[in-house]
Amino acid sequence: MAQVKLEIGSVATAMTLSGGTIQGELAAAQRYFEVMGAGSSGRIVNTTTVEHYIRYTQKRVAPSFALTTTAPQVYDPATGTKTASGSTVSLTLGSKVNGTTVQTSGYSVLVAGNWAIFNDNYLQVSAEL
């Protein structure tokens, strides 16, 4: 058994927050893990590829990434088209602690030069110990 605390008496020790406030506690937790929601905008590179820059809370080290879907969708406001990609999703990474570039490809109806919205997808950013 681990991470158990026993106390003598009927009153437990009050909880202490690492950040001093609930907002500080959230900020401390986000240095380790965060899920970025849908709706980030991106640049359509060509008819098959979209590039998004996703900014997140600064992590304690360069994080690892995972998409929560295998068929990312993109909405092209210029054409009114919402489409799922083919099988290619590449995460262009570096040693960035507060943002990354995500490239999704395999689309067939996009217009190069337009902006698109990364839709119905979630990016997990993890800097766990």
Q: Supply the pLDDT for residue 72.
A: 67
The pTM of the full predicted model, rounded to 2 decimals, is 0.60
Mean pLDDT by 10 residues, the chain (129 residues): 81 77 82 75 81 80 75 73 67 66 76 75 78
Q: Supply the pLDDT for residue 81.
A: 74
CB proximity list for 19: less than 8 A, separation 6 or greater: 25, 26, 27, 28
Q: Supply the pLDDT for residue 69.
A: 67
Domain parsing of the chain, residue ranges: 34-126
